[in-house]
A and B are shown apart, each in its own frame.
Chain A
Amino acid sequence: MNETIDRLRISLSQNRGFYGALLGLVVLYLIYNSLHPRGFSSAVLVQNANESIVIAFIAIAQTFPVLIGGLDLSVGAVMTLTATIASELVNGSPGHMIAGMFLTVLAGTAFGLMNGLIVVYGRLQPIIATLATGAIAMGLALFVRPQPGGNIDGDLNWALTNSLFDFAETYHLFDDGNAAWFQIIAWIPVPLVILFGILALVWVPFKRSVTGRTVYAIGSAEGAAYMSGLPVARAKIIAFTLAGFFAGCGGLFLAIQTSSGNADIAQAGSYTLNSIAAVVIGGTSLMGGIGGAVGSMIGALILRVISFYFRILSIDPLLQSLVEGIVLLSAVSLGALRTIQVKNRLDLFR
């Protein structure tokens, strides 16, 4: 017992940004639900989950390059590219659909791998390299789908964007979702299951692997990581590859949600920029080495919850970017107050 408290205390002191963001999200969301006329209901949760999952995936994607002290300016474009691919492939027979989803995510992963190879073997700064590959991804997206549109299976759209009950009903599982035991979890939105499921399957093993450790080590002290015999090049490539993978997941879900693909340059750019904001709000340092994907997901959810407030408080939606900007600036300024208390000014320049 004592040891658990001890461990929690250490974790709290080492991850202040993360726990701050978590607390912020919980408070924001509880207030939102109590203000909402149908608050604390499965319907509201389903709607919110659908609106949040894509940016959550993109924020998680951005986390990996940021942890190595880099940045991936192509995540939004890769998301757009994969969404256009999905809009072509995810339809037809179940087997065809599954293959299409697989190929979509594979395309994102492959693009991430290319980013990683360019950064590592071309020795380019990630921010510039991905700025350029982002343009390439947008170009490819425009090739795939010069006009918005697409053809995604309607059942799939319905099943994946609603609660587990609807999923079971659509595919005639568990007595069409009426099995008694199933009721405990039937209200949970499918997007959340997918998000948490993929996060748990990928992030947890990653964090406890030597590659994951190397990713953190690169962001913290790259020279020391190399000297200690850590697989630096491999870890960098994997970091960008995972960014591509999660961006691909985001693109796939975006396409399923909207039943279409759209090579929208402005949308891609805004997702990329929001992913950086989400990563920072979630307690990950842009210098690398500190933070994690769970924090980024929380950061993305915070950004989304703030936009929910516009609806229930009927604030002029024109003010949305103003409020988002102010929230971002206040959040990072709050974290920066510590610098004002720094007693040794040299500590500012680390």
Chain B
Amino acid sequence: MNSIQTLVELKNISKNFSETHALRDVSFTCKKGSVHAILGENGAGKSTLIKIISGVLKPSSGDLIVKGQPVQFSKPSEAAKAGIVCIFQELSLIPDLSVAANISLANPPRRFGLIDNRVQNKTAESLLAKINCEDVDPRALVRELSLSRRQMVEIAKALGKNPEVLILDEATSALTSRDVETVYDLIGNLRDDGVSCLFISHRMHEVEKLCDTLSVFRNGQHVETFAKGERSDNDIVRLMIGREVGAHFPPKPVYARSNPHLEIKNLTWETSIKGVNLDLGKGEIVGLGGLDGQGQKELLLALFGVLRGLDGQVLIGGKPTRPNSPAAAKSDKSSIALVPEDRKTEGLMLPMSITDNLIAASFDQVSRYGFISREKEKAAVASGLAKLQIKAGHASDAVATLSGGNQQKVVIAKWLMTDPDIILLNDPTRGIDVGTKKEIYKLMRELADAGKAILFYSTDYAELIGCCNRVAIMYDGAVVSELSGDAITEQAIVAASLNMKTSGTAA
């Protein structure tokens, strides 16, 4: 054991939040120049681990040792001084400040004690150039940038701190594929310079491509660390969830196309949706694929009545229907449900009780003359909790106390209470543990079997392949290819996503 080679070491670290143990007696080392993946389900303690390393949280007990010295960080800036820099999943940028100000936020270049904007812009320019983002103007405000550009600015900001240990927490989830490649290259270069990367991702292919060491966490404990290739994927999944999993996806019944329930004809909105044609039958799961940001999210919002100024036609059950609000969309006429992109801000009222969240979309169903019926409310909540096997202490607990997966289940259960005919799903499994993912896949299939029409946007190709009867690939605001049956392969999806006509698999 060479101590110089060990950058960060945790010894018997525990972290308690009131009654729950987020981390239990964790010992863990991160070596110089390694790209180290941290794997685990949600709630396994990954986030707590990196928050402790990067100074956001203080451990309840145990020692944190950086470059051989025991340290105690009281805030993230102290960790940054010690060379540990984290790119958090929730962006840490200030929307109303310029890109340059964000990149040298806490430690700007100064002249006569005042911030020197010129030098600050130069610094930003050179850092952005390093990650192939010359298109970002350092003087632009962050709020003017797209999500993927912001993520890149976040990475530039981290680089500006000259990290010795760089922690990436789902840092590639919002990136375009070109940027993902850039980040991969960057990580490689950093590793060659002796920088360690701690890498948290739910995408196995990323982990396999980038990392040399993998650590698996479960229930707040460090299960095992091993070099890449020592374990098979199945082994890793088993370590993560602590039990055998069979096939991820429920079997797909053969779908016989009948009259479509939902028809979208030449739908257009602003610059994001450019003439989408798509139909969807009862009992069918249609996937929306393609690179991120090709108009998939906007399409779902358009169908749900959120967008103004649409062109084109939407037919439901053969009749032209265009709701102008979510309230209209969920009404009997169109009977649409949407599981939104961000469950924390769009799907749930976090401080409110599970009950209040579950009935939030179905007041009409549980009330009479505007008064809520206690019995109906109770019955509805009980059936919702049971149907989705939501693990909750008490229905009056705040929904914020649930794990991410259970929170997402509450969002889905909320919408099932309205008994919708059409279900729109916006990446419902993002950031959710494997076990819950599997339950959601199964539920989707059951709903389809019960005659619902499901439109399912996912950034995970495996999901599209495993769940969908048909996959529509969007590119630049239009559906460029539809794949169905055995033609739904990873290769075909990737080819269509890049709008490569040569692949020949397009339907």
Contacts and interface: CB of A to CB of B under 8 A. Distances in A.
Given A227-B76, A343-B270, A345-B306, A220 B97 contact: yes
Interface in B50-77: 56, 75-77
Contacts of B301: 344, 346
A318 interface: no
B308 interface: yes
B269 interface: yes
Contacts of A227: 56, 76, 88, 92
A290 interface: yes
Interface string A32-69: 00000000000000000000000000000000000000
A217 B97 contact: yes
A344 B308 contact: yes
Contact of A345 (B113, B269, B308): B308
A17 interface: no
Contacts of B105: 213, 217, 228-230
B76 A216 contact: no
Contact of A229 (B77, B96, B139, B140): B77
Contact of A221 (B93, B101, B137, B270): B93
A344 B308 CA distance: 6
A10 interface: yes
A210 B95 contact: no
Given A209-B114, A230-B105, A224 B92 contact: yes
A346 B426 CA distance: 15
B348 to A, nearest CB: 14
Contacts of A226: 75-76
B309 A343 contact: yes
Contact of B97 (A216, A342, A346): A216
Interface string A282-301: 00000001100000000000
Contacts of B113: 205, 209
A220 B95 contact: yes
Contacts of B106: 210, 228-230
Contacts of A338: none
A52 to B, nearest CB: 29
B115 A10 contact: no
Contacts of B75: 226, 229
Interface string B18-42: 0000000000000000000000000
A213 B101 contact: yes
The SS class assigned to the B binding surface is: loop
B101 A205 contact: no
Interface in B90-104: 90-97, 101
A216 B97 CA distance: 8
Interface string A268-312: 000000000000000000000110000000000000000000000
B456 to A, nearest CB: 20
How many of chain B's residues touch chain A, expressed as a range? 35 or more
A14 B75 CA distance: 32
Contacts of B270: 343
B94 A209 contact: no
Nearest to A221: B94
B80 A346 contact: no
A290 B306 contact: no
Contact of A216 (B88, B96, B269): B96
Given A208-B115, A224-B91, A344 B96 contact: no
Contacts, number: 87
B145 to A, nearest CB: 13
A250 interface: no
B491 to A, nearest CB: 34
Interface string B176-218: 0000000000000000000000000000000000000000000
A343 B272 CA distance: 11
A9 to B, nearest CB: 10
A342 B308 contact: yes
Nearest to B114: A208
A216 B301 CA distance: 32
Contacts of A114: none
Contacts of A224: 91-94
B308 to A, nearest CB: 5
A223 interface: yes
A219 interface: yes
B108 interface: yes
B141 interface: yes
A230 B113 CA distance: 17
A221 B108 contact: no
A228 B137 CA distance: 21
B139 A343 contact: no
A227 B157 CA distance: 13
Interface string B108-132: 1000011101000000000000000
A14 B142 CA distance: 11
A225 interface: yes
B306 A344 contact: yes
B94 A343 contact: no
Interface in A1-44: 7, 10, 14
Contacts of B395: none
Contacts of A10: 137, 139-140
15 contacts: A10-B137, A208-B115, A209-B114, A210-B106, A210-B115, A216-B96, A220-B95, A221-B94, A227-B56, A228-B105, A228-B157, A229-B80, A230-B106, A345-B306, A345-B325
The 4 closest A-B pairs by CB, nearest first: A229-B77, A220-B96, A289-B96, A208-B114
